[in-house]
Amino acid sequence: MFRTDPRRRKGHSVKRLVLFLAAFVLTVLLLAHVDSNAASRTVSTPSKFAGAFVNWGPIGREHTLQAWEKWLKQKPSSVLGVDFYGGTTWEDSSKLSWVPGIWKKLNPARNVVWSIPLTMKGTPLADVADGLHDAEFEAAARAISEAHPQAVIRLGWEMNLAEMAWFAKGHEADYIKAFRRVVEIFRRHSTGFKFDWCPGWGPQEMAADASYPGDDVVDYIGLDVYDFKQAGTPEERWNTFYVKAPFGLEWHRDFARKHGKPMSYPEWGVGNAGDNPFFIQQMHDWFMKNEGSIAYAAYFDVNGAWPTQIDNGQFPNSQRLFRKLFSR
């Protein structure tokens, strides 16, 4: 029988061990690379899409928003809050100037989107454009700048809806002049403000772009989008009334791109058409598809003109999917 030199056999064993260890290390590295790729394909939804308008709660919206963040496993103070400044009268601009301070007191790290009425019922836009209510806007700008000098200012939103006091149809020039004047007032109080021009989606009662106030006074181009009762299946409604509609999602994307501005979605939600997880999925997918071109999105988590709150069990299928998609 042929016998191998034991010293050579030992040398071969060492070589085999080295080769085995090298192969093992390479395998581990390859698996880690695969895992990292898989993780990158399943990246959680960014916090910029998890903002919300929430209920006031016992002492302010901040605590409710903190519960919202925890529900979605987002980092503390990472999501934008949304609030509405003032009320239904000019006097409210001063009377309610304490509200931004409550936000700051409860959480100085939170940033907020402030929706600012451009006028009040009974006051024509021309009066604002001519400076007759500068004092009220000065008060609002002062209060917000002290609490949130980096705030997003959503001024005169949904101007294409007839129900708004600042409905622009037939008064487009006054709307534009008023918008530009108020932006100047706010800029005197903070150079960190970002200004959001935000129509409601769809044709509504006027062409939204007729009231666009100019690139020099707009930082974000927004769109408020809700799932309304319409004819057809959820899939048909999505394509007809949202994606392809006049002044719908594709128009919004193209208009913002034309003006070199990021998009925003300061209000969106289900509710008017009932429990519709398909709408939730499609909105999420639209956000992710256009992630690099969107500044922020905020869900309207309050039952207002119709039910929209999504974390209280009234829309269980939408709620389940929303939490899955918008969690970190």
Residue type, position 326, single letter: F
Residues 196, 219 contacting (CB under 8 angstroms): yes
Name residue, tokens 């191998």. Answer: 4
Q: What is the DSSP string of 101-159?
A: HHHHHH-TT--EEEEE-SS-TT--HHHHHTTTTHHHHHHHHHHHHHH-TT-EEEES--T
To the query of whether residue 267 is one of the catalytic residues in this protein, the response is: yes
Residues 324, 293 contacting (CB under 8 angstroms): no
To the query of whether residue 158 is one of the catalytic residues in this protein, the response is: yes
CB atoms within 10 A of CB 273: 15
Euclidean distance between CA atoms 206 and 160, whole angstroms: 5
Q: What is the DSSP string of 256-275?
A: HHHHT--EEEEEEE-BTTB-
The distance from CA 61 to its chain's CA centroid, rounded to whole angstroms, is 17
Question: Whose CA is closest to 219, among 166, 268, 170, 266?
Answer: 266
Question: Whose CA is closest to 160, among 237, 238, 217, 222?
Answer: 222
Euclidean distance between CA atoms 125 and 163, whole angstroms: 14
Euclidean distance between CA atoms 283 and 48, whole angstroms: 14
Choosing from 158, 163, 184, 291, which is the catalytic residue? 158
DSSP-derived letter for residue 290 is: T
Distances 162 to 10, 43, 125, 159, 231 between C-alpha atoms, Å: 90, 41, 14, 8, 23
Residues 166, 126 contacting (CB under 8 angstroms): no
Euclidean distance between CA atoms 150 and 108, whole angstroms: 12
Which residues does the annotation mark as catalytic?
158, 267
